[in-house]
Structure 1
């Protein structure tokens, strides 16, 4: 049975066990779609990635991203974790930036000191969430009618919609009824009050994927990339800000967002947890 280099990483945290875990299989060109799907299901993580030789000559490597149930065209923390694994395994980019190929296309990644950041991909769907769906979301989240102050589609491939609440403690108190939210990917965000909340972030985020193997994501790059495009376009966030995520489930994810000209970069730290080989 063939063996492959394998890494398990923690993304959006410089400390192991406090971010969003990711399994990465390197040199996975010989694996079939079914083998990838089976291994991703077995790891039981929110995402598992497989690194392959690029098909596009502009790319440094190609990645395929799987949840326990399906393949994704793009996801944020798998982008940073996969790039980290590729670099740590001796990958040398063709240019100053690293170019990742995935199902959504080419994604630029850059090094920011000890951290990595990816450029927010274009939104596939935007605009306000439709009233009937928003009411379903409100009921599933157990919120009062006036609790949601804004909503927006922020879908860049994972189907995200986002709702904004007024205060951080409202986000932390949520206990969703996932039976009412099946099939939805929902981000909930609220601004932080430095004096009251005593946190080092500007916003608190929670990400719910009803019906997926992991119903709350600890730290979500794709969601925060989409939310950043929404907030910055409407003047609801400064050009550089920090998001805290995973608080309720014992994590300490920190996602750094920065607008530079017309580009939005989403980044954070990556910590290596496990390295070895896997038989597949």
Structure 2
């Protein structure tokens, strides 16, 4: 297998090494799905992406997004990291200032507003309140009280998020997950910061591969779903994420009419070649 260009991008933090990394393999058209999955498993990052020639004339490139276990139709920080890698490699958008990414969820617009990039949140495949039994399971798995819960929802936009809004950011940061009840679920938790904090909300994400549960540092798809769900938040707000992990993720969310834009800083940290 010939060497392919490779980029690793830190996403959603103004400080390099403080956000969420994504691995990006360029010129990956000749790789099989099996090779992509094997390489993504080897990187052991939450997602690895592969850039290919677009199938749609409206797209600038096509991307395939893999976790260590499966392919996703869409994910947030891999979208921004892939767009940054493509631009850094010399990609020129057909429409100045807007990159159009083709992925399993369709065409996704990415606004270029240096030093930030922002993607247009795709429509939710599923939304709606949580079932009582699932709500009880989440309360047990997050180690919180039912009185801490303000509301809950299914927010599926590629990943199948189940999300709880809790009373405040302190409750979010105080979560100590109990893996058993959360296995098999992708769980988000959001709560408001007090007035005067640089971020309006605190967010945490817990991902399960069916065997164990791990926390994700900063999560674009979850924040996209939250921005579409909690319409009582300001039209523009900042979500902090990764605090409990020693990261300083900052996700900028903007509601523009019926569209929600999710953005933040992106920094190329590693570049070179790989032989998947």
- Report TM bin, short chain: over 0.9
- Residue 6 of structure 1 aligns with which residue? 6
SS of equivalent to 2:172: helix
- Residue 244 of structure 2 aligns with which residue? 248
- Residue 126 of structure 1 aligns with which residue? 127
Residue-by-residue CA offset, 1:19-43 (whole Å, 9 max, x unaligned): 0011000000011101100110000
When the two structures are superposed, what TM-score results if normalisation uses the length of structure 1? 0.95
Q: CA deviation at 1:14?
A: 2.5
Q: CA deviation at 1:144?
A: 1.1
CA distance in 2, matches of 1:270, 1:86: 12
Which aligned pairs between 1:1-280 and structure 2 lie closer than 5 A?
Answer: 1-96=1-96, 97-194=98-195, 199-211=197-209, 215-232=214-231, 236-280=232-276
Q: CA deviation at 1:112?
A: 1.6
Residue-by-residue CA offset, 1:119-178 (whole Å, 9 max, x unaligned): 011001111111111111111111112111111111111001110111111111111111
Residue-by-residue CA offset, 1:211-245 (whole Å, 9 max, x unaligned): 3677111110000001100012xxx2000000000
Contact 2:69/2:209, CA 8 A, preserved across alignment: no
CA distance in 2, matches of 1:113, 1:273: 17
SS of equivalent to 2:10: strand
Contact 1:22/1:48, CA 8 A, preserved across alignment: yes
SS of equivalent to 1:86: helix
CA distance in 2, matches of 1:56, 1:224: 27
SS of equivalent to 2:46: coil
Contact 2:48/2:78, CA 8 A, preserved across alignment: yes
CA distance in 1, matches of 2:62, 2:213: 25
Q: CA deviation at 1:182?
A: 1.0
